[in-house]
């Protein structure tokens, strides 16, 4: 209680800030330049790789057409770099029925990226919206939605997939639906936790004391705080979703046969791992590189979107 | 400088406010009948130990109490004749910034860390006054200049963490005063700052208050600051106001033993070398407020009646109120400190 220091009149006029702490916002010393360059690489390398995947997925199949029924017994299990019977070069080898792997992987990228992006968009939007709603309102809304999320998390996604495939049939849309139902609780939980932590923070209260209503507080205080963690979750989930799609397709609960995704190609190559390693390995590598790049990009974007980190 | 003890039209009147919290240990009352008023242009200082309910009181006024755990059980909050406690929160928000505003203790947490400070202030003009983006920014920079931020036009582009504590508190003040409120609530505005900066911020607040003719509620632990800026003082203990009155009256002739102890626990500049007497004991837990006078376990002049009868705030002199059965004796100077 007795921290009082009476007699503050000795100090200078208020509008001339004398010796008010350290120099504000001084630029970092030049020592950090190499780090800056490293950080630029951390942004541009994954961006470049992801762009390459997108290009391959979008226009690759137009150039090197993939035909699911064009099998050729003579070209079975050719290793990467072989000549095929029609004279073409099988850059990545062929599979067990003699189809060129490169177009197959590019076609697969198309499906896998589409499923991944659509699922994240759907699950992310719905999950974030519900999570923010729950975190902000609390009470009965919160209890109901979060119990639903708990049930969802406890429910095996394969069972759900069986159910959806059985009732609605198997299609790309239904795979996206199934995976979205499986993933939204993760987004909802993170969004809710972050909202809870932010809604009664001082700066949210400060906004309120300046007349901000709930909508304004959510938009300006909660959303920016939720966005960073969600971005990180999304990059992790993207890998999970693409792999999950592969497992569903492997169980014939996902993408219908004839539309190759990375998952179906990997599944095809499983029986030939000893004799023809490339069938399963190359799409697997494509998947791994993609997921890693997305992860690095996500981390980097998060760091960049946080001004408290950007000057370090 | 001292305003009339009771301005004819009090700007803010809080009457018998009771607020309880649902905590893990059950429901407890953080405020147990708080009453005070602030006249237009008047500065009221609220004093009291940590946990006595100062922050809860002003948060209740600004409608910032957590919706699910806090309940206003009783009492009224009246601003300029309007009973805010009976109106939707929306009404308080409408009055916020233009009528009443608040400065928080920690400037780092009071600013949105991911939004440039100029933007945070400009937003106010855009949303509340529907000005254009450019005009809002211009006014934000002017606001920053007004609180003494050097290079305001450039600094407006910075993020909160790029400012020093003192500069950041100036930003917070600029934001609170942007729409020229008539009442500013400052909850320990300088506690997070070092001593020289504290004085600069207090000087700034005082200067702006005079320039705008605004009323102020100042919560602080610094009796020296109170002596410098306050017109009236309210002393809180265990969720109630135990004494209130004009600054000089309360300082010179405290009518409540707690206030008296408070004064004695601080070095007086005109009596160097005097022994300081801290108040004995601990404030009561809000879960177990003693019966009778809440101060009686620590009161050096407590008598039998104090253990059973709860004293109410009553007028002991013109404009001077105290909640003690023996206020007159305390004012007359019964030797409270002799009990130590
Ligand atoms: N959000 C809350 N939930 C539960 N209890 C609370 C909450 N806010 C305050 N309290 C309780 O209300 C009582 C009064 O707290 P308050 O913050 O008003 O004290 P104060 O007088 O401002 O103290 P200080 O000088 O330390 O700021 C305390 O017992 C505190 O534990
Ligand atoms: S009422 Fe009694 S216990 Fe309470 S402050 Fe007065 S003298 Fe002390
Ligand atoms: Mg407080």
CATH (domain of B91) = 3.40.50.300
Q: Cα distance from A24 to chain B (closest Cα, Å)?
A: 5
**In chain A, what residues touch B201 (CB-CB under 8 Å)?**
14
Q: How confident is the model at residue A88 (pLDDT cuts 50, 70, 90)?
A: confident
**In chain B, what residues touch A139 (CB-CB under 8 Å)?**
68
Q: Could you tell me if residue B140 is inside a domain?
A: no
Q: What is the pLDDT of residues B226-244, one digit of tens each?
A: 999 999 999 999 999 999 9
Decide if pLDDT at B338 tops 50: no
Name the CA dihedral angle for B239, B315, B228, B160, rounded to a multiple of 10 degrees. 30
Local structure of B219: helix, strand or coil: strand
Name the CA dihedral angle for B201, B205, B208, B213, rounded to a multiple of 10 degrees. -170
pLDDT of residue B91: 94
The encoded tokens of residue B76 equal 């009224």
Local structure of A83: helix, strand or coil: strand
Q: Could you tell me if residue B168 is inside a domain?
A: no
Work out the percent of chain A whose per-residue pLDDT is above 70.
85
Q: Which of B292, B323, B325, B332 to mutate to test the pocket of ligand 2 (most atoms within 8 A of CB)?
A: B325
Give the mean pLDDT of chain B: 89
Decide if pLDDT at A267 tops 70: yes
Q: Cα distance from A30 to chain B (closest Cα, Å)?
A: 18
For residues B227 and A199, give the distance between their C-alpha atoms in angstroms, rounded to a whole number.
36
A140 vs B: CB within 8 A = no
Cβ-based neighbours of A95, under 8 Å, separated by 6 or more: A76, A77, A101, A104, A265, A268, A269, A276, A279
- Name the more confident of A269 and A133: A133
Q: What is the pLDDT of residues B164-205, one digit of tens each?
A: 999 999 999 999 999 999 999 999 999 888 888 999 999 999
Interface test with A, best of B196, B201, B227, B268 (most A CBs within 10 A): B196
Distance B307 CA to ligand 2 centre (A): 9
Work out the percent of chain B whose per-residue pLDDT is above 70.
92
Q: Cα distance from B262 to chain A (closest Cα, Å)?
A: 8
**In chain B, what residues touch A225 (CB-CB under 8 Å)?**
114
Q: Could you tell me if residue B276 is inside a domain?
A: yes
For residues B35 and A234, give the distance between their C-alpha atoms in angstroms, rounded to a whole number.
52
CB-CB contact of A284 with A242 (8 Å): no
Of A12, A16, A203, the CB nearest to B110: A203
> If you count residue pairs, one on A and one on B, with CB atoms under 8 Å apart, how many are there?
169
Q: What is the pLDDT of residues B273-303, one digit of tens each?
A: 556 566 777 777 777 778 899 999 999 889 9
pLDDT of residue A299: 82
Of B124, B159, B162, the CB nearest to A210: B124
- Name the more confident of B3 and B134: B134
What DSSP element (H or E) covers A82?
Answer: strand A82-83
- Name the more confident of B3 and A127: A127
pLDDT of residue A258: 73
**Domains contained in chain B, number:** 1
Work out the percent of chain A whose per-residue pLDDT is above 90.
26
Q: Cα distance from A34 to chain B (closest Cα, Å)?
A: 23
CB-CB contact of B168 with B225 (8 Å): no
Decide if pLDDT at B267 tops 70: no
Q: Cβ of A138 and B97 within 8 Å? A: no
Give the mean pLDDT of chain A: 81
The dihedral through the CA atoms of A219, B98, B6, B200 has a sign that is positive
B110 vs A: CB within 8 A = yes
pLDDT of residue B222: 87
Work out the percent of chain B whose per-residue pLDDT is above 90.
71
Average the pLDDT over A284-304 and give the result: 85
Q: How confident is the model at residue B213 (pLDDT cuts 50, 70, 90)?
A: very high
Residue-wise over A157-168: b if at least 16 C-beta within 10 A, else e? beebbeebbeee
| Cα–Cα separations (whole angstroms), residue B329 to B135, B325, B326, B336 | 60, 9, 5, 10
Distance B55 CA to ligand 3 centre (A): 4
Q: What is the pLDDT of residues A131-187, one digit of tens each?
A: 999 999 988 999 999 999 999 888 887 788 888 888 888 788 888 999 999 999 999
For residues A264 and A250, give the distance between their C-alpha atoms in angstroms, rounded to a whole number.
6
Q: Cβ of B176 and A138 within 8 Å? A: no
Q: How confident is the model at residue A311 (pLDDT cuts 50, 70, 90)?
A: very low
For residues B199 and A68, give the distance between their C-alpha atoms in angstroms, rounded to a whole number.
79
pLDDT of residue B272: 56
Can you give the residue range of the structural domain that contains B286?
12-109+181-331
Distance B175 CA to ligand 3 centre (A): 21
Find the angle CA(A146)-CA(A147)-CA(A149) to the nearest 5 degrees: 60
Average the pLDDT over A302-306 and give the result: 74
CB-CB contact of A240 with A248 (8 Å): no
Q: What is the pLDDT of residues B245-255, one digit of tens each?
A: 999 999 999 99
Least confident interval from A32-36, A112-116, A262-266, B335-339: B335-339
Name the closest ligand to CA B31. 1
CB-CB contact of A308 with B109 (8 Å): no
- Name the more confident of B181 and A301: B181
Average the pLDDT over B40-57 and give the result: 94
Q: What is the pLDDT of residues B102-155, one digit of tens each?
A: 999 888 889 998 899 999 999 999 989 999 999 999 999 999 999 999 999 999
Q: What is the largest CA-CA distance in chain A?
A: 98
pLDDT of residue B258: 94
Please name the residues between 232 and 251 in chain A that touch chain B, using a CB distance below 8 Å.
Answer: none
**In chain B, what residues touch A224 (CB-CB under 8 Å)?**
112, 114-115
Highest mean pLDDT among A2-6, A201-205, B17-21: B17-21
Q: Cα distance from B98 to chain A (closest Cα, Å)?
A: 8
Decide if pLDDT at A6 tops 80: no
pLDDT of residue B1: 43
B145 vs A: CB within 8 A = no
Instruction: Name the CATH superfamily housing domain A104-305.
Output: MetI-like (1.10.3720.10)
pLDDT of residue A77: 81
Q: Which of B296, B303, B321 to mutate to test the pocket of ligand 2 (most atoms within 8 A of CB)?
A: B296
B275 vs A: CB within 8 A = no
Q: Is the ipTM of this complex over 0.90?
A: no
Decide if pLDDT at B96 tops 70: yes
Distance A61 CA to ligand 1 centre (A): 65
Q: How confident is the model at residue A94 (pLDDT cuts 50, 70, 90)?
A: confident
Residues with CB under 6 A from ligand 2: B 256-257, 293, 295-296, 299, 301-302, 306, 311, 324-326
A26 vs B: CB within 8 A = no
For residues B298 and B242, give the distance between their C-alpha atoms in angstroms, rounded to a whole number.
14
Q: Which of B30, B58, B71, B288 to mutate to test the pocket of ligand 1 (most atoms within 8 A of CB)?
A: B30
A302 vs B: CB within 8 A = no
pLDDT of residue A5: 40
B166 vs A: CB within 8 A = yes
pLDDT of residue A41: 84
Q: Cα distance from B166 to chain A (closest Cα, Å)?
A: 6
Name the closest ligand to CA B296. 2
Closest of A217, A226, A239 to residue A302, by C-alpha:
A226
Measuring from atom 1 of ligand 2, which residue has the nearest CA?
B324
Distance B244 CA to ligand 1 centre (A): 21
Name the closest ligand to CA B67. 1
For residues B274 and B265, give the distance between their C-alpha atoms in angstroms, rounded to a whole number.
11
Average the pLDDT over A233-250 and give the result: 83
pLDDT of residue B271: 57
């Amino acid at each position: 209680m007795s921290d009082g220091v009476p007699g503050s009149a000795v100090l200078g006029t208020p509008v001339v800030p004398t010796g008010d702490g350290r120099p504000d916002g001084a630029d970092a010393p030049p020592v950090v330049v190499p780090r800056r360059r490293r950080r630029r690489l951390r942004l541009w390398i994954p961006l470049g790789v992801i762009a390459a995947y997108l290009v391959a997925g979008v226009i690759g199949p137009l150039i090197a057409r993939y035909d699911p029924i064009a099998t050729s017994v003579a070209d079975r299990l050719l290793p990467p770099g072989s000549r095929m019977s029609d004279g073409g070069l099988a850059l990545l080898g062929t599979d067990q029925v003699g189809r060129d792997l490169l177009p197959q992987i590019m076609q697969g990228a198309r499906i896998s990226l589409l499923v991944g992006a659509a699922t994240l968009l759907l699950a992310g939007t719905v999950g974030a919206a519900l999570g923010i709603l729950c975190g902000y309102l609390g009470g009965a809304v919160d209890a109901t939605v979060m119990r639903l999320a708990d049930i969802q998390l406890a429910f095996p996604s394969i069972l759900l997939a069986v159910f959806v495939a059985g009732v609605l049939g198997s299609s790309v849309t239904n795979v996206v639906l199934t995976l979205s139902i499986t993933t939204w609780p993760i987004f909802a939980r993170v969004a809710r936790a972050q909202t809870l932590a932010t809604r009664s923070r001082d700066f949210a209260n400060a906004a309120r004391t300046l007349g901000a209503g709930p909508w304004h507080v959510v938009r300006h205080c909660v959303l920016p705080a939720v966005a960073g963690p969600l971005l990180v979750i999304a990059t992790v989930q993207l890998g999970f979703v693409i792999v999950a799609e592969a497992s569903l397709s492997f169980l014939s609960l996902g993408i219908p046969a004839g539309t190759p995704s990375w998952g179906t190609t990997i599944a095809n190559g499983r029986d030939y791992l000893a004799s023809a390693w490339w069938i399963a390995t190359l799409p697997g590598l494509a998947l791994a590189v993609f997921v890693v790049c997305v992860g690095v990009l996500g981390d980097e974007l998060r760091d960049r979107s946080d001004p408290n980190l950007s000057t370090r | 400088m001292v305003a009339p003890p009771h301005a004819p039209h009090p700007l803010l009147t809080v009457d018998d406010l009771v607020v309880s919290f649902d905590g893990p240990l059950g429901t407890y009352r953080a405020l147990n009948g708080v009453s005070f008023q602030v006249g237009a242009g008047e500065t009221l200082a609220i004093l009291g130990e940590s946990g006595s309910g100062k922050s809860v009181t002003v948060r209740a006024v600004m409608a910032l109490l957590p919706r699910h755990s806090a309940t206003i059980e009783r009492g009224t909050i009246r601003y300029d004749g309007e009973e805010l406690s009976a109106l939707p929160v929306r009404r308080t928000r409408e009055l916020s910034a233009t009528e009443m505003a608040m400065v928080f203790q920690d400037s780092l947490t009071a600013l949105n860390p991911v939004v440039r400070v100029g933007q945070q202030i400009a937003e106010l003009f855009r949303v509340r006054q529907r000005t254009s983006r450019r005009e809002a920014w211009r006014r934000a920079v002017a606001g920053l200049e007004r609180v003494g931020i050097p290079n305001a036009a450039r600094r407006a582009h910075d993020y909160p963490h790029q400012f020093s504590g003192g500069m950041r508190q100036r930003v917070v003040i600029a934001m609170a005063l942007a729409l020229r409120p008539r009442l500013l609530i400052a909850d320990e505005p300088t506690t997070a700052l070092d001593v020289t900066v504290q004085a600069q911020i207090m000087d700034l607040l005082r200067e702006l208050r005079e320039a705008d003719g605004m009323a102020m509620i100042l919560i602080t632990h610094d009796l020296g600051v109170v002596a410098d800026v306050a017109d009236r003082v309210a002393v809180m203990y265990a969720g109630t106001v135990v004494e209130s009155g004009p600054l000089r009256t309360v300082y010179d002739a405290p009518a409540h033993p707690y206030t008296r102890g408070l004064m004695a626990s601080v070095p007086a500049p005109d009596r160097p070398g005097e022994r300081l007497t801290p108040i004995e004991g601990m404030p009561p837990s809000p879960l177990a407020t003693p019966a009778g006078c809440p101060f009686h376990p620590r009161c050096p002049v407590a008598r039998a009646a104090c253990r059973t009868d709860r004293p109410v705030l009553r007028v002991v002199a013109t404009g001077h109120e105290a909640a003690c059965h023996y206020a007159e004796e305390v004012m007359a100077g019964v030797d409270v400190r002799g009990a130590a």
